[in-house]
Amino acid sequence: MKVLIIGGAGYIGSHVTKAMALAGHEVTVFDNLSSGLLVNLLPAAAFIAGDIRHADDISAAFSRGFDACVHLAAFKAVGESMVEPEKYSVNNLSGTINILNAASASGCRKIVFSSSAAVFGSPEYVPIDEDHPKNPESYYGFTKLEIERILAWYDSIRGIKFAALRYFNAAGYDPSGDIVGLERNPQNLLPIVMEVAMGWRKELQIFGNDYDTRDGTCLRDYVHVSDLADAHVNALAYLEREGKSLAVNLGSEKGVTVTEMVEAARRVTGRDIPARYTGRRAGDASSLIPTSALARSLIGWNPRLSDVDTLIKSTWDVYRTYRTPTERA
Ligand code: UD1
């Protein structure tokens, strides 16, 4: 299929682009490079520079004729979304509407959407299944949930079939080393641990050690980005085969605490990684663990790389090639 990958120069998008190309699709990346990186653009993909906030940019791209699109172009900083909601409204919400209108006008009837565990808010029970109540606790999470609802309307009115993929904690890097871009100003645990291991930060702050978990630090489900990328390929095949929309949770079903992640990172990297317990970070849930049974049964998805050692080693293998964080930005 001819597939347009919107946000394909970003961290997850570049892995999705690689997986789609390997699956035999003809891929084109659309990205404004606001957080995406030129170094992430793969030779197998054509590139269109453009911005989803500009309806003309995205319409021009769709007019080239695509059978399907993957939409990963979003701001994703939970804390920032509570300070600057306007930014999230314009990019995540209006930008997606621009995409759907352009897809609709051009006859593109399949979309794979990067949703998030943030649609659920604090869990009322674990593991979280797809029917778990959806009460996002950030404006970012709200935009993802709202887009899922808009997708459902475009399905029923325009016949656009969607796959909403709710990622839990994405981590890791392409194990064959084809993708080496480092996110600018990372906010997530593993990139921060790597920056401490590299000596770019003095220490890791562990946000809270009084949670109701096995060692008091937060429990998360880390899933390898290449496993997530495979889910996009499988989801697109499902849309083609079944002609039905779906929303699934994507996690490894292996809970790891912050302390366990740091200890594993010390072992795998051989570095000290100084860490200090500090107070809780506002908005952090104690445990965020999904069941991915539905993804297994509907799209045949089985993560292969999401064990802690592979997550850390594949990330470390990229970081250790840098002298400074911005060297290849
Ligand atoms: C958050 C969002 C998720 C979003 C993801 C990517 C929620 C509930 N989750 O996940 O939807 O897709 O970010 O941006 O909004 N930690 C430290 N020290 C640090 C950094 C993190 O101890 O310096 C801890 C956090 O407290 C947390 C764990 O590490 O327990 C993982 O944090 P992080 O990588 O930021 O992801 P989430 O907050 O789980």
Kindly report the average pLDDT of the chain as a whole number. Answer: 97
Say if strands 68-71 and 2-6 run parallel, antiparallel, or are unpaired: parallel
**Phi then psi for 119, rounded to 5 degrees?**
-65, -20
Say if strands 110-116 and 255-257 run parallel, antiparallel, or are unpaired: unpaired
Confidence at residue 235, expressed as pLDDT on a 0 to 100 scale: 99
pLDDT at 272 over 90: yes
Confidence grade of residue 80 (pLDDT, cut at 50, 70, 90): very high
Confidence at residue 224, expressed as pLDDT on a 0 to 100 scale: 98
Helix (H) or strand (E) segment spanning residue 6? strand 2-6
pLDDT > 70: percent of the chain: 100
Confidence at residue 326, expressed as pLDDT on a 0 to 100 scale: 85
Confidence at residue 164, expressed as pLDDT on a 0 to 100 scale: 99
187 lines ligand 1 (CB under 6 A): yes
What is the whole-number distance in angstroms between the Cα of residue 17 and the centre of ligand 1? 25
pLDDT at 328 over 80: no
CB 96 within 8 A of CB 71: yes
Which of 179, 170, 171, 169 shows the shortest CA–CA distance to 321?
A: 179
Which residue's CA is the nearest one to ligand 1's atom 25? 207
Query: Roughly what angle, to the nearest 10 degrees, separates helices 95-106 and 139-158?
Result: 20
225 lines ligand 1 (CB under 6 A): no
Q: What's the mean pLDDT in 217-240?
A: 98
What is the whole-number distance in angstroms between the Cα of residue 256 and the centre of ligand 1? 12
pLDDT at 178 over 80: yes
pLDDT at 329 over 90: no
Confidence at residue 212, expressed as pLDDT on a 0 to 100 scale: 95
Instruction: Report the alpha-carbon angle 287-290-294, nearest 5.
Output: 175
122 lines ligand 1 (CB under 6 A): no
CB 31 within 8 A of CB 47: yes
Which residue's CA is the nearest one to ligand 1's atom 16? 189
Confidence grade of residue 97 (pLDDT, cut at 50, 70, 90): very high
CB 133 within 8 A of CB 86: no
Which residue's CA is the nearest one to ligand 1's atom 2? 118
284 lines ligand 1 (CB under 6 A): yes
Which residue's CA is the nearest one to ligand 1's atom 27? 218
Report the C-alpha gap between 251 and 84 in whole angstroms.
Answer: 29
Confidence at residue 327, expressed as pLDDT on a 0 to 100 scale: 83
192 lines ligand 1 (CB under 6 A): yes
Q: Which residues are catalytic?
A: 140
143 lines ligand 1 (CB under 6 A): no
pLDDT digits (tens, 9 = 90+) for 5-62: 999 999 999 999 999 999 999 999 999 999 999 999 999 999 999 999 999 999 999 9
CB 7 within 8 A of CB 32: no
Confidence at residue 61, expressed as pLDDT on a 0 to 100 scale: 98
What is the whole-number distance in angstroms between the Cα of residue 189 and the centre of ligand 1? 6
